[in-house]
Chain A
Amino acid sequence: MQSAYGGRRTSMNIVVLVKQVPDTWAERKLKADDKTLDRASVDVVMNEIDEYAVEEALKLKEAAGGEASVTILTMGPDRAVETIRKALSMGADKAVHLSDEALAGSDAIQTSYAIAKVLDTLEYDLVICGSEATDSRMSVMAALLAERTGKPQLSGARKVTVDGGNVKIERQTDNGYDVVEAPLPAILSVVEKINEPRYPSFKGIMAAKSKPLTTLTTADAGIEADKVGLANAPSQVVEFSNKPPRQAGQIVKDEGDGGAKVADFLASQKII
């Protein structure tokens, strides 16, 4: 069977970064003591865009006639296993779970360090992540990982094709799209436009239970403990306050000049 690499190699290794986040629709709060996100008191789900990343990896595998392996990589507490299982039940082949108390409270820069260390232990041709997580909303992981690993970054993909050792994407822009191409291995982030994630099948859920899941501590991955965690974070949340309650709206009475008043209002808000 013709491989996705045009015969250069027999199999492509895809790593998908998946994050467990508080349910997007739940009320999310920072904890008063250490000012980190309160993850314990809310329902958790797979970060929505990560489902698209998993789907794209599965599609690339299918396009390669199955000659590829999809590995899920997650950093998070024990509970994140639920999210890993979901990705496996969608059809990913195996998973690596980086879980260590020492990682709690790590910021994006530290997280990229930790994930890059885990990537060093894996063989990969393509790392795929969602364009942002719904909790921190930094949208920087692909860039940080590209920097740390020295691999090309292709961000904001709405379409991906792998051919002959190259990966080509259409990058979504405000006015259309750019075509961006890079040699493998590469780091890729995807946007929601890219596909429609599948539901896990009942058989997939059953099969997920016996798929290989490797749990790593920081020591296992060669992560230096004093470079991660809240106490060592380069960025800190210094202060936060709750969103102010909504103000009463402004009522404009139409005395024949309603249209002009609405236009004035929109202009004052710099909307028009």
Chain B
Amino acid sequence: MPPVVRSLPSAEAEALLELARDLAEQELAPRAAEMESRSEFPREVFRTLGKAGLLGLAYGEEHGGGGQPYEVYLQVLEELSRAWLAVGLGTSVHTLSCYPLAAFGSQEQKDRWLPDMLGGELLGAYCLSEADSGSDAAALKTKATKEGDDWVVNGAKAWVTHGGQADFYNLMVRTGGEGAKGISCLLAAKDTPGLNPQAPERKMGMKSSHTATIQLDGARISGNRLLGDEGQGFRIAMSALDGGRLGISACAVGVAQAALDTAVSYAKQRKQFGQRIADFQGLSFMLADMATQVEAARALYLSAARLRDRGKPFGPQAAMSKLFCTDTAMRVTTDAVQVLGGYGYVEDFPAERYLREAKILQIVEGTNQVQRIVVGRSLTGS
């Protein structure tokens, strides 16, 4: 596939994107279909990405991060997702999982844990949702009680990406009263007694990315693993999600680009009525619309990323970006299946996989309905 034309801010970023493309083509793409069909989690691929320095790109160099702006980090995510969403989204979730510690942790906490997290030795998970609280995250019920210096946690966190595979879990738990102000954030290690990952969910797509419920049965977590202040958890969770939504946007554009590439390649080879189907105007208009939407989606997430990189508020723009990019991925992947006709509907071609992958992106990190609420409130107040 020809490389996507990108405007990058530095020679450093050019080199990084080239590395990301090499890894995507050589390490991700050849394994994706096979491992997806077996629902196999690609732990080794994440190790390779970690060694190459791709799991801490958006964080400062003092703890081993790559010191890259979001504008660049997101385009790396896009390239990874173009080859294999489970890995691109996993990288996004890992990056999100490092955020509470990087942004709200004490110096001592950061010195202790952050280098291994950013270096990819430790893979992260982020636990906010529960079975009964998804969009209404502030209603979460998992309870942490203080016992001496420790927190003892009981409850269950749902829909945890890397559940059962991660090395550390950010747990959003209730340490105080009702509502957003009673929530705190704990950084739990995977071997914490009482932290019990359940069997992975059987999903429609992105099967190599394991999603599981984390059961917490009297899990004892040391007091020095509280990130930020008591009661600050909801704020931490929401600010992490703003960045996370840009990550999902980039993942969505990667999947959409992959679907477009597949459709274009097929349309140039497939002949009907004695000519390439690409030469039928009806079909070429479809491809043109798909390409235009992908390009617009990319421009939108990059625009929001540049706000973030310049330290400006970007919450509503992140929500618009997540909404638009993931809806675009859904449309473009659906159209790609249409372009391939019957071949689009069978597992021998990747189009149907892209379609199944796109669907989850309209749901995770805030459904697209929640994104509209965020955007609406930014316009008119709540």
Contacts and interface: CB of A to CB of B under 8 A. Distances in A.
Interface of A: 198-206
B182 interface: no
A202 B16 contact: yes
A97 B66 CA distance: 30
A228 to B, nearest CB: 33
A71 B165 CA distance: 40
A58 to B, nearest CB: 13
A206 B22 contact: no
Given A200-B19, A201-B52, 20 more contacts: A199-B19, A199-B22, A199-B23, A199-B48, A199-B51, A199-B52, A201-B51, A201-B53, A202-B15, A202-B16, A202-B52, A202-B53, A202-B54, A202-B57, A202-B66, A203-B53, A205-B16, A205-B19, A206-B12, A206-B15
Contacts of B12: 205-206
Q: Would you call the interface of chain B mostly helix, strand, loop, or mixed?
A: helix
Nearest to B50: A201
A200 B15 CA distance: 10
A198 B22 CA distance: 12
Residue with the highest number of chain B CB atoms closer than 10 Å, among A198, A200, A202:
A202
Nearest to A202: B53
A198 B16 contact: no
A206 B66 CA distance: 10
Contacts of B48: 199
A148 to B, nearest CB: 36
Nearest to A205: B15
A202 B22 CA distance: 12
Nearest to B53: A202
Contacts of A206: 12, 15
20 contacts: A198-B51, A199-B19, A199-B22, A199-B51, A200-B52, A201-B51, A201-B52, A201-B53, A202-B15, A202-B52, A202-B53, A202-B54, A202-B57, A202-B66, A203-B66, A204-B53, A205-B12, A205-B15, A206-B12, A206-B15
A203 B51 CA distance: 10
Contacts of B22: 199
Q: Which bucket holds chain B's interface residue count? A: 10 to 19
Contacts of A202: 15-16, 19, 52-54, 57, 66
A205 B53 CA distance: 10
Contacts of A205: 12, 15-16, 19
Nearest to A206: B12
Nearest to A85: B15
Residue with the highest number of chain A CB atoms closer than 10 Å, among B15, B22, B51:
B15
Residue with the highest number of chain A CB atoms closer than 10 Å, among B23, B52, B54, B66:
B52
A199 B22 CA distance: 9
A198 B53 CA distance: 13
Interface in B28-56: 48, 51-54
Interface string B210-229: 00000000000000000000
Interface in B45-84: 48, 51-54, 57, 66
A90 to B, nearest CB: 11
A206 B22 CA distance: 17
Contacts of A199: 19, 22-23, 48, 51-52
A200 B66 CA distance: 14
A44 to B, nearest CB: 14
Contacts of B52: 199-202
Contacts of B51: 198-199, 201
B373 to A, nearest CB: 37
A76 B15 CA distance: 22
B16 to A, nearest CB: 5
B21 to A, nearest CB: 12
Contacts of A201: 51-53
Nearest to B64: A203
A185 B16 CA distance: 37
A223 B365 CA distance: 64
A84 to B, nearest CB: 14
Nearest to B68: A202
Contacts of B23: 199
A263 B310 CA distance: 73
A219 B57 CA distance: 44
A101 to B, nearest CB: 28
A201 B48 CA distance: 10
A199 B51 CA distance: 8
Residue with the highest number of chain B CB atoms closer than 10 Å, among A203, A204, A205:
A205
A242 B228 CA distance: 70
Contacts of A200: 19, 52
B45 to A, nearest CB: 12
Contacts of A198: 51
A199 B53 CA distance: 10
Nearest to A203: B53
Contacts of B19: 199-200, 202, 205
Contacts of A203: 53, 66
A252 B54 CA distance: 54
A202 B118 CA distance: 13
A202 B120 CA distance: 13
A201 B16 CA distance: 9
A106 to B, nearest CB: 30
